[in-house]
Amino acid sequence: MAETDQSTEEHAAAQYRIGVIGGIGAYTMWGLFPLFFHRLEPTSPLEIIGHRVIWTAVLMVGVLSLGAGWGWVRPLLADRRRTVSVALAGVLLSANWLIYVWAVTNDRVVDASLGYFINPLVTVLLGVLVLHERLRPLQWAAVIAGAVSVLVLVLGYGSVPWVSLGLAASFGTYGLLKKQVGLGAVEALTAETFAVVPLALGGMGWALVAGELDFPAAPISMKLLLLAAGAVTAAPLLAFGVATNRIPLSIIGLLQYLTPIIQFILGVFVFGEEVPPARLAGFACVWVALALLSADGLRQGHRQAGVRRAARTTATAAVQKAKTDDR
């Protein structure tokens, strides 16, 4: 019995390590995206998104055909509400990609990183506004600090940071729709990209007829990079799927900050973007908000773990008592 328990614990520990590696890999790859998308200039953001959608869809067909299969498609199409949610999620994801690629190719990587720093706060706020969740005190403090950061940026720049807010709002709402649909990571990405493939094909066809498509005349190196957009999109998502199935959401919540941290470092030290005092003050407010949010998440994680341990102890004691009574 002891050997079985030890084997189970070792398996759980191995799965946890795999999950952490998957999470770090996913968020690191997402953080390094600016290096890839910068290489795609001078291709327009709209064409880049078209390639990203089309080649991601092609790649996911191969992944599903070799793995999970297509049994989930019929039940999805039979549920009109889920089908509409998937289509909207695909549109929001494409909008998020478009804003992000525009930001990267227009030297706004730091603004993009701010958007992904703000995203957890938007997710919390959507939980209140849409799902009617009740916030704990630290969560309220985090949301208020996030609102202050936006106000500081508006006053400092004299304009709304639309890139950051657009990225946070589109990805936060996208996550909310994904939660309601309830598909696995691979199936969800496949359904979402196929929902917008007609738009991507239509846009690419129009650009080709108008002579505004860069792909035909691009050098072979650029063609290969554009074709690689599908793999670049799918790889971190698959790693993310490995992580979410093996480690607690509280750890996922902490790992997600790797992406905007890496993007911020790239924006400042690799692409030479400036961070004037007003922008730095706004970032500081966001970092305070995220520290509060992380502290709340860790506290809740410890509480839930304590409840689970107590439940297991009670169940074990009940089993042992039953065995004693049988004797």
Closest CA relative to residue 234, chosen from 15, 64, 40: 64
Per-residue pLDDT of the chain (327 residues; tens, 9 = 90+): 555 556 677 777 788 888 889 889 999 999 999 999 999 988 999 999 999 999 999 999 988 888 768 889 999 999 999 999 999 999 998 999 999 999 999 999 999 999 888 888 887 888 778 877 787 888 888 888 888 888 888 877 777 889 999 999 998 888 888 777 778 778 888 999 999 999 999 999 999 898 889 998 899 999 999 999 989 988 887 888 788 777 776 677 778 888 999 999 999 999 999 888 888 888 888 888 888 877 887 777 677 666 666 666 666 666 666 666 666
Distance of CA 29 to CAs 17, 35, 234, Å?
Answer: 18, 10, 11
Amino acid 118 reads I
Burial string for 16-50 (b: 16+ CB within 10 Å, else e) reads eeebbebbebbbebbbebbeebeebeebbbebbbb
Q: How far apart are CA 284 and CA 294, in angstroms?
A: 15
